[in-house]
Structure 1
Amino acid sequence: MKNNAFKGKNTRMVPVRLMVGYTVLAVISGLSGFAFISTVNKVISMSISTDISRQLNFYLAIFIGATIIFFITRRWLSAGIIYLSQNIYWGIRRDVINLVLKAPYRKLQEYKGEVYSTLTADVANVTNASFMVITFFSAIILIISCLIYMAFLSLILFGISCCVIVAGIALYLLRSRKSNEQFKVVRELERNFINGFNTILGGAKEISVNPKKGTDIYEGYLSDIMDRGEKTNTKAFLKYLNSELISEMLFYSLITFILIYSGNIFHIPLGTIVNFVFVLLYLMGPIVSVMTIMPAMNRATVSLKKMSELRTALRSSTEGYDTEMAGTEKYHGFRSLEIKDYSFSFGEEKFSVGPVNMNINRNEIVFIHGGNGAGKTTFINTILKLYDIEDGKVYVDGQQVPQDEMDCLKSMFSPVFSDFFLFDNFYGIKDVNLEKAARYIRIFELDEKVLIRNGRFSTIDLSTGQRKRLALINALLENRPIIVLDEWAADQDPHFRRKFYKEILPMISREEDKTIIAITHDDRYFHLGDKLMKMEYGQLIEINKTQLDNV
């Protein structure tokens, strides 16, 4: 699948050599920490048994060397992990956004909440976990080194310690299973929370007028989600905390046993016991670090799984969809466009539109009217390829459009939807004709409120009707042959509505060489169209203009 828009924008992958380098640095950092503690142990042992004053400079050099190596490797490793974490953070966002831009409209609507959750909570979880990788792997290296050193000091005490450590780890892992399940529950609650919050943002005007709506959303929906999320998260973290404390108690019990009983039972020298206990005490820090990091790593694992599922779903939805083909101007010079036997259905009750037949010629003004729920907007969405048709053919200038070129048709249309979104910049329009844009602004009576500055509208903080005018100006500047309008004039005042039908539409059609398909209920202006069509129960019927009095 080709897509020039995304060339050079793919998620950056961390080179293998960098990962190997980070691993080596982690090993060196852990070993330098171990060298420090083993040297301390050696100095303590020698201080108890002999005079080491002659070797103080030697051990001082070792201490300084181990400290410098630890500092340098930790600094390089930390910088590398910062690079890696930012690569992950922005790389995932870049990847998801690219997939979103290529995903079909209906699939995107289905996964909207999941996309928000991925770009916020999931990315944060993975990034936070990546920061902890430094501590985690350094701790693992230190633990392994300490265990080897403990085996060197005393195999008997090493065996006892391993049994206790394994028992603690097993207990920790068993108890953490339920915590992991609870993290999954919280992740689903997070998605529902995002959906509810978006409802508040999307319905802000309605909530402002009727605050009870907001109260119902909060108390009847969001409050329960937040309470469950708080309780579930708290339980999960408490389970980890309890497991950590139990493991620490086992550790303290082990140290107590070794100090009080091991000398008498196993006849181990006091110096060896002191060294062993000292290493155990030092080992406790890395073990606690690993246990503390585990919840974050598990949350990151849940998030990675969710992100993988989202990516798979979005990628599968883009199969067969060619954004490069959709941007071609192959059919922009059309003279006639015929839609034949278009049909579409969705929902449990299988609401259907079609089969629909429509024939329009260049520069025609086509009005479509019909009752609410008749299927007008759904039909428009099918010809704009927002919905995939189940059946139907398209003919341009009498020639059938091949199936593999159907996406080309999308580039013929510039729509202004009833629930339009107004961009403050001329995105997707190369070489904007600023002179023409200024002319449109005058024609649409916005010249006292809006200017073109730095290649964009000076403001979009306008009334809904005025914003719709800017949206239509933007559509005209895209320079596509067919303008599609869904109830465009509904938010215009009577003066401008009259001007729109009597002056602007003819100007767009004749002077700007555009074809217009407009969904409208303004029956007093139906006679100004070249064709009038009625959508009723999913069927599109052309009405003879001589029958307008009956309409």
Structure 2
Amino acid sequence: MIVTTDGDDGICSSTTKEQPRAIGSRHWLSLPHLMWNNHPWLMIGIVVTGIISAAASVAVIDTVNRAIHAKGDRFGLLLMFVGLSLVAVLSTSCASLLPSYASLKTITVLRIGLCKRILATSLEEIERRGPANVLTLMTLDIPRLAQTIEVVPVLLVEGTTLVLALAYLAYLSWAGFAMTLLLVVIGVPLVSYLFAKGISHLRHARDEFNTFNEHSHGLVFGVKELKLNAALRRWFDNDAIDVSANKVAMQEFIGNLWFNASGAISQLVYIFMIGLLLFGVPSIELMPADVLSGSILTILYILRPLAVLVGSVPQISEGAVASESLARFGFPINDPQKTPLVPDAGDERLPKRRYWRSIKLKGICVDYVFNEDNREFRLGPVNLEIRSGELLFITGGNGSGKSTLAKAIAGLYAPKSGCISVDGVQLCAANLDEYQGLFAAVFSDFYLFRRVIGSRDDSANAAMAKSYLQKLGLTGKVKLDGDYYSTTSELSSGQRKRLALLRAYLEDRPIYLLDEWAADQDQEFKKFFYEVLLPDLKQRGKTVIAITHDEEYFSFADRIIKLTDGRMTEPSS
């Protein structure tokens, strides 16, 4: 049977469980890890320049404090102040500029990697999640990661500055450092709670963006229906796009309110510390004047890195939510396996594609869950043998499981139980890709790529394509522009299906799977399809599996399979 594994193996069953919604430390640290994995020397450079900048900044504080209490000539201290300030500014600028190019390369790697992960994910998993969710990964999560990566170097520099400033404070006065640490311990739980509330709303905003994407998809592909139906258009304007867009904005706004509240708490703690040093410490003479002024200067200086760190929390949180969403899809951004690999077939290799004799489905059951209402449909159990070179028709009412069976036969749906074998070799994850290479298919919800891809070299493909364009009545409608069709959109639905069939012809696979291909054809081409095209494929030794309702042409089939509610109700004849 087809082995179902987790996302890392590229074959995901429809029963994949969602990961916990809490953002773990791995998602907070995923971006630094990602940059380290892709550009370790760059990260080392950022850390080194950050340390230099932080050390120079702390040295500036010490120089200012010495200048305040120095007597006599202070020209040497002035030179130190200017020099250290320049070092701090230049090193901070270097640390910020270094990753700009690297971040672009990293995000490009992520985009390409996500596309490969989607290709490696099972069809049923993609259908379960829906196009809107997959598009959100590409249009929202990846760009947010790009924005967050730009912030990481700044956080490293400012975080290093904060740590060294606190170390300098401890050097000046353990009492001042202890008071600061005590206030941090008191403030951190409250700030963390406010951060968590903000992150929760960011997560809700991201989930609602899936709904917005779904409506956007409807806007692009349902614009004709919207223009013709005023009531539908009013619903779309008032209750679909408008409501969804406002929900996204509101969730993000509330999240930012929580983040601002956490920033305000941080500022209050900071102000309380300054007040304690200015008015509380002198009254009890806890530290000398030069140490007190140095401590106050240090606390004042801490304001900038602290403000940067707190102000970056919303952006870092968006990156963490994006990383979490990608991981739930099966694409952890720090996965060292950049390209999904197909396991070595070993001894489970299939017979050569042009010399197979039969495909057997034994006890195949497929469970399909409808997204709209979580209703489950079961196909099977199906016991079927498909013989090389035969013309097989699959028929049945709407919702009887014809397309589900076709996708199971092609290895696009993993069966819940049962097995598929080719000439006695059982289908498994190791040979699934090889098995799927047997099929050229035109499904009812097909997609047309403009690129001309065939089984021969480019010149032979072009010659065959021109021949088939004429045979399928598309001459004058579609032209070849190098390796591309001139258009795939400015055609009727029937013409687009003919072009899809041309693509299948060029692939020249042993098995042709055609899902209600003749449904959109006029009577002339429907007759041409059954009386000329299908016999031509059969004469060339191809196996054809056609889903059809056209009873007047059933006589052309070698066998007819009928499905009712997911079960074969009539034996093959």
- TM-score by length of structure 1 reads 0.83
Alignment partner of 1:484 is 2:549? no
Task: Tell me which amino acid in the other structure corresponds to 2:476.
Answer: E
Tell me the equivalent position of 2:113.
95
Q: Report the more deviating stretch, 401-410 or 430-439.
A: 401-410
Tell me the equivalent position of 2:308.
289
Paired residue secondary structure (2:354): coil
- Structure 2 CA distance, aligned partners of 1:2 and 1:156? 56
Tell me the equivalent position of 1:6.
none
Q: Displacement of 1:416 after TM fit?
A: 0.5
Tell me the equivalent position of 1:79.
97
**Equivalent of 1:119 in 129, 132, 138:** 138
Alignment partner of 1:535 is 2:563? yes
Alignment partner of 1:449 is 2:477? yes
Higher relative contact order (CA 8 A, sep 6+): 2
- Structure 2 CA distance, aligned partners of 1:540 and 1:500? 27
Alignment partner of 1:331 is 2:353? yes
Task: Tell me which amino acid in the other structure corresponds to 2:355.
Answer: G
Tell me the equivalent position of 1:431.
457
Q: Displacement of 1:359 after TM fit?
A: 4.2
Q: Is this contact kept in 1: 2:46–2:157, CA < 8 A?
A: no
Tell me the equivalent position of 2:543.
515
Task: Tell me which amino acid in the other structure corresponds to 1:31.
Answer: A
Q: Is this contact kept in 2: 1:123–1:303, CA < 8 A?
A: yes
Q: Is this contact kept in 2: 1:353–1:375, CA < 8 A?
A: no
Aligned residue runs from structure 1 range 113-512, under 5 A = 113-217=132-236, 219-221=238-240, 223-260=242-279, 262-266=281-285, 272-311=291-330, 330-334=352-356, 337=359, 339=361, 341-347=363-369, 350-362=377-389, 364-390=390-416, 399-404=423-428, 407=432, 408-427=434-453, 431-432=457-458, 433-461=461-489, 462-510=491-539, 512=540
CA RMSD of aligned residues (A): 3.6
Q: Is this contact kept in 2: 1:25–1:76, CA < 8 A?
A: yes
Q: Report the more deviating stretch, 251-260 or 475-484.
A: 251-260
Paired residue secondary structure (1:385): coil
Q: Displacement of 1:395 after TM fit?
A: 6.4
Paired residue secondary structure (2:546): strand
Paired residue secondary structure (1:418): coil
**Equivalent of 1:27 in 41, 45, 51:** 51
Task: Tell me which amino acid in the other structure corresponds to 2:398.
Answer: N
- Structure 2 CA distance, aligned partners of 1:2 and 1:441? 40
Paired residue secondary structure (2:384): strand
Q: Report the more deviating stretch, 264-273 or 525-534.
A: 264-273
Q: Displacement of 1:448 after TM fit?
A: 0.9
Task: Tell me which amino acid in the other structure corresponds to 1:20.
Answer: I
Which has the larger Rg?
1
Tell me the equivalent position of 1:66.
84
- Structure 2 CA distance, aligned partners of 1:367 and 1:176? 60
Paired residue secondary structure (1:351): strand
Q: Displacement of 1:100 after TM fit?
A: 1.4
CA offset digits 1:93-146 (Å, max 9, x no partner): 333222211122112222344433333333333332322222222222222332
Task: Tell me which amino acid in the other structure corresponds to 2:166.
Answer: L
Q: Is this contact kept in 1: 2:454–2:508, CA < 8 A?
A: no
Tell me the equivalent position of 1:548.
none
Aligned residue runs from structure 1 range 30-69, under 5 A = 30-46=54-70, 49-52=71-74, 56=75, 58-69=76-87
- Structure 2 CA distance, aligned partners of 1:324 and 1:212? 56
Paired residue secondary structure (1:355): strand
Q: Is this contact kept in 1: 2:169–2:177, CA < 8 A?
A: yes
- Structure 1 CA distance, aligned partners of 2:317 and 2:488? 45
Q: Is this contact kept in 2: 1:140–1:286, CA < 8 A?
A: yes
